């Protein structure tokens, strides 16, 4: 059986991730692929329960280490229950965020030690890496205005100070610099149509590899 591929769409809050992911999903289905749409935090029943705990503003006392380990626990469940079986069945897994988010948010933004973050992530997924991370890059000030403009409530992490979100953004750019073959950075300050076009070009290039 063919091994599937894993595409992750990630990046700044408010950059249009949900719309871009829907467009990628449609393109893949129209091209005859079987697609498993998923997300982090979340993706499994256990992961979705953890998501509620992680993002709830009713948990301001959550320590940085607890937060990291909850993301790790959700990812450990996600990979075993959903991602690996889907890839083994030859499907395309399309995930709204994955491991790069932990390095950006828990290491670069929160300031947890890189080796600590890596060890929790390694516990969850070992040497597994998604095939491509499409990163929608946007000034967090613009991103948060868009989130507020949609009338969405900010979650516990979006509600951190602006420097937190600026550092998270830099985290994605640094990771892309370190492993350019695993990342595609897309400027999300332009129209959503242009962002979608660029994301689809990245996906097409990847499928033709
Ligand atoms: P979102 O699903 O609306 O993008 O919200 C998820 C939030 O969780 C977002 O602020 C990024 C954050 N996050 C982390 O801090 N670490 C992680 O590993 C993941 C997957 C998400």
Q: For residue range 142-159, list pLDDT tens digits in order.
A: 999 999 998 888 899 888
Q: What is the CA radius of gyration of the chain?
A: 16
Nearest CA to ligand 1 atom 6: 41
Tally the C-alpha atoms within 13 A of residue 92's C-alpha that lie toward its C-beta.
22
In this structure, the residue with its CA closest to atom 9 of ligand 1 is 157
Backbone angles phi, psi at 185, to 5 degrees: -90, 125
Q: What is the pLDDT of residue 3?
A: 87
Nearest CA to ligand 1 atom 21: 101
Contact yes or no for 44/123 (Cβ under 8 A): no
CA of 40 to the centre of ligand 1 (A): 7
Angle between helix 45-55 and helix 64-78 axes, rounded to 10 deg: 160
Ligand 1 pocket: which residues have CB below 6 Å? Answer: 13, 40-41, 71, 96-97, 101-102, 105-106, 155, 157-158
CA distance 6 to 99: 12
| pLDDT tens digits in sequence order for the chain, 209 residues long | 458 999 999 999 899 999 999 999 999 999 999 999 999 999 999 999 999 999 999 999 999 999 999 999 999 999 999 999 999 999 999 999 999 999 999 999 999 999 999 999 999 999 999 999 999 999 999 999 999 998 888 899 888 889 999 999 999 999 999 999 999 999 999 999 999 999 999 999 999 87
CB atoms inside a 10 Å sphere around CB 81: 15
Q: What's the whole-model pTM score?
A: 0.96
């Amino acid at each position: 059986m063919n091994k599937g591929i894993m595409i992750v769409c990630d990046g700044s809050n408010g950059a249009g991730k949900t719309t871009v992911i829907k467009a990628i999903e449609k393109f893949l289905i129209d091209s005859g692929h079987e697609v498993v749409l998923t997300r982090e935090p979340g993706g499994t029943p256990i992961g979705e329960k953890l998501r509620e705990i992680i993002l709830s503003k009713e948990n301001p006392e959550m320590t940085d280490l607890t937060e990291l380990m909850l993301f790790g626990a959700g990812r450990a469940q996600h990979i075993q229950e959903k991602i690996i079986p889907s890839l083994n069945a030859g499907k395309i897994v399309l995930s709204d965020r994955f491991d790069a988010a932990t390095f950006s948010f828990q290491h670069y933004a929160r300031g947890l030690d890189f080796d600590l973050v890596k060890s929790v992530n390694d516990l969850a997924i070992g040497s597994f890496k998604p095939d491509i991370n499409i990163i929608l890059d946007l000034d967090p000030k613009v991103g948060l205005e868009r989130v507020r403009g949609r009338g969405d409530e900010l979650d516990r992490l979006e509600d951190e100070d602006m420097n937190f979100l600026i550092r998270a953004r830099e985290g994605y750019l640094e990771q892309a610099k370190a492993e350019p073959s695993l990342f595609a950075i897309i400027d999300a300050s332009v129209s959503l149509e242009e962002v979608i076009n660029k994301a689809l070009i990245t996906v097409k290039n990847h499928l033709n590899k």
